[in-house]
Structure 1
Amino acid sequence: MAPLPSTAVLLRRRPEGEPRPDDFEIVHRPCPDPEDGQLRLEVLWLSLDPYMRGRMSAARSYVEPVGIGDVMAGQAVCRVESSRHPGFAPGTLVLAGSGWCTAALSDGTGLIRLDPAPAPLTAALGVLGMPGLTAYAGLAEIGRPKAGETVVVAAATGPVGSAVGQIARKRGCRAVGIAGGAEKCRLLVEHFGFDAAVDHRAPDFPARLKAACPNGIDVYFENVGGAVWDAVLPLLNDFSRVPVCGLVSQYNATALPAGPNRVPDVMRAVLSRRIEIRGFIVWDFAHRAGEFRREVGTWVADGSMRTLEHRVEGIERAPAALVDMLAGRNLGKVVVKVAPGAPD
């Protein structure tokens, strides 16, 4: 064996406000041969996700930030290129936290073997991976939807939001999606099967949301925050549940928004309407991973769970693609094709 050429994307500096492509640095360096107990991974597909913005910040969070000069964190579909590990033969397909690079060493910890037969490999980064489990477990554990209830989800064309709406429909609920722009709203109804879609960019967005939810909102799956939350709060029913998965509208903020203090209104509503609001991280519900893969895997296989991907070619384009995703300029789950000949 010989060192394998590799391209990696490093965090060059911590962004102030919206990230820029030059907050990253692209380097070319060899990935060394594996030693005893190690294997070398060829990265095929890289996942881009909103949580990565938080990993770029030094602010306190649920996980350590990426260090300056370190490879950007991220999950990827990989192929074992060479191995001196007894548990992984060359050619094995795995899900790995390899980060933004074209090749990486691993000791096998945390690797998940992938079967390419039931679904496209990239499904392991979306509907059958972390975003899908986020939707499935967050909705089940916190949202607890009941047949006949109204479930609303923001950022609804993304991999988490689109799964939330489809799962809600399978549970007998009315699913209402919130997205930015007419095309995304059209896809929510025509492609993903939502009952209704509302454009948060519309000047009369609060009125449109109210019209789409004539019986109020029983479950609101929060991915966005900001003005969307302001429109949702008055519509939350007594004993409604709010799983808080993300706050993407605030990730680039450098100061609190201008305007009156809304905390008293929120807390009054929480108290008087007995609203349950709970933040969560997907791994809080890791115990549901097996159940999730069995049930959602069946839906993907029979075609009743729809997906949508936004594909980018080349590791060098990952920084710009992340910036675009955080600004809502993507349509569906963002994946980067890292290896030119990567199988689907």
Structure 2
Amino acid sequence: MYATHRLVRLVRRPAGLPTPDDFALERVPVSRPEAGQVLVRNTHFLVFPGLRTLIGGETRDIPLPPLNPGDTLFGPAIGEVVDGPLEKGRLVLHLQGWREYATLASADCRLLGGTLPDPVAHLAQGSAPYGALTRLAEVRAGDTVFVTGAAGAVGTLAGQIARLLGAARVIGSTGSPDKARRLKAELGYDAAVLRGAAPIGGQLAVAAPDGIDVVLDTVGGEQLTAAVHAANRRARFALVGALGGQMSPDRAGGSAPAVLDTFRLLTGGITIAGYSGMDHPDVEADWEARFGDWLRRGDIRFPYTPFRGIESAPEALPQLIAGRSFGAAIVEL
């Protein structure tokens, strides 16, 4: 009944940014579940920018294995149980995306209940910005918040979260005028600065004339540099991504240098901290409960760009890196 299925393998380590030719769609036999295993028919999986780092081989201090030529890609996925000890038909969350069927240990699956009104929302990348804005930067009523990479999977949620936590003004950065328009029209951003247009620092001076209190940074690079100069005294910076390095054709995804004015950090009493979910194990459940409530009340949106069918998957990561998605990038099977 489930004799074969399709999956996506890495063909070669890219020279520069990955292209669709670096991946191959292959048909292989479905692995029958053994004792303690479950067979899952995947329905959706997330395309996340961290794959660029895993493919590049620069995985120091990253709790995920590198991807070598011949390996099947992986990542968060939602699927339906079709065989094994778990109840058939139940939806589960697991990490074996990039394939139509997954055979894995039952313990590596999380049964999904009704915490979120739409199961696909379990692929939302909101836990990190929520944790960063509640545990590190601690948004307060009246704060001005700047989110870099605001049109990405993290940024589209981060601005909304900041507002719900009491921010008075939310500013985002993006590289596209159309995305800037959508940030303001659809997600409640007050202003957007455009990467690659006028200098970021000058744009921030206009968008945040009274300075910035909180920075949620997903990019690094010149945007982080400019944010330090625009920061108010005792501003709080939370770093949750390094897209500037991961999306650079000159790097392999494991570094993202930025120039920071340490004199400004010192005299302004500015704090900068990197957020890791492993340091805050309580955040995931807290985020999911609040996310579910916000979704049901219509207080928050989960934007994502769908890629239809596994045959579209080899193009999904290159399209994400090229900035052709808004919100999360999700392959629908």
TM-score w.r.t. the length of structure 1 is 0.89
Partner of 1:69: 70
| Aligned with residue 296 of structure 1, among 291, 295, 306 | 291
Counting matched residue pairs gives 325
Alpha-carbon contact 2:225-2:258 (below 8 Å) kept: no
Task: Output the amino acid matched with 1:74.
Answer: G
| Aligned with residue 170 of structure 1, among 134, 141, 164 | 164
| Aligned with residue 183 of structure 2, among 177, 181, 188 | 188
What SS is found at the alignment partner of 1:175?
A: strand
What SS is found at the alignment partner of 1:317?
A: helix
How far apart, in 2, do the equivalents of 1:262 and 1:163 lie?
24
Partner of 1:110: 108
Task: Output the amino acid matched with 2:138.
Answer: R
Partner of 2:80: 79
Partner of 1:341: none
Partner of 2:10: 11
* RMSD (Å), alpha carbons: 2.0
> Any stretches of 5+ residues in structure 1 without a counterpart?
339-344
1:184-263 correspondence to structure 2 within 5 Å: 184-251=179-246, 252-254=248-250, 263=259
Task: Output the amino acid matched with 2:42.
Answer: V
Partner of 1:145: 139
How far apart, in 1, do the equivalents of 2:76 and 2:115 lie?
20
What SS is found at the alignment partner of 2:282?
A: helix
The Cα shift of 1:318 comes to 1.6
How far does the alpha carbon of each residue in 1:58-110 deviate from its partner, in whole angstroms, 9 at most, with x for none? 11241321233111121111111111x2xx11111011111311111111123
| Aligned with residue 129 of structure 2, among 127, 135, 139 | 135
- CA change 1:112–1:206 in 2 (3 A) is same
How far does the alpha carbon of each residue in 1:120-140 deviate from its partner, in whole angstroms, 9 at most, with x for none? 2211111xxxx1111111111
Partner of 1:315: 310
Alpha-carbon contact 2:160-2:188 (below 8 Å) kept: yes
The Cα shift of 1:158 comes to 2.0
How far apart, in 2, do the equivalents of 1:300 and 1:162 lie?
14
Partner of 1:23: 22
The Cα shift of 1:219 comes to 1.0
1:36-51 correspondence to structure 2 within 5 Å: 36-51=35-50
Alpha-carbon contact 2:147-2:172 (below 8 Å) kept: yes
Partner of 2:149: 155
Task: Output the amino acid matched with 2:152.
Answer: G
How far does the alpha carbon of each residue in 1:199-254 deviate from its partner, in whole angstroms, 9 at most, with x for none? 22322443222111111111111111222223222101222111111121211343
How far does the alpha carbon of each residue in 1:286-308 deviate from its partner, in whole angstroms, 9 at most, with x for none? 31222111112100111110222
Task: Output the amino acid matched with 2:287.
Answer: F
| Aligned with residue 118 of structure 2, among 117, 120, 129 | 120
The Cα shift of 1:22 comes to 1.6
Alpha-carbon contact 1:7-1:29 (below 8 Å) kept: yes
The Cα shift of 1:152 comes to 0.5
The Cα shift of 1:16 comes to 2.7
The Cα shift of 1:29 comes to 0.5
| Aligned with residue 329 of structure 2, among 329, 334, 338 | 334
What SS is found at the alignment partner of 1:270?
A: helix
> Any stretches of 5+ residues in structure 2 without a counterpart?
none
What SS is found at the alignment partner of 2:154?
A: helix
- CA change 1:15–1:284 in 2 (3 A) is farther
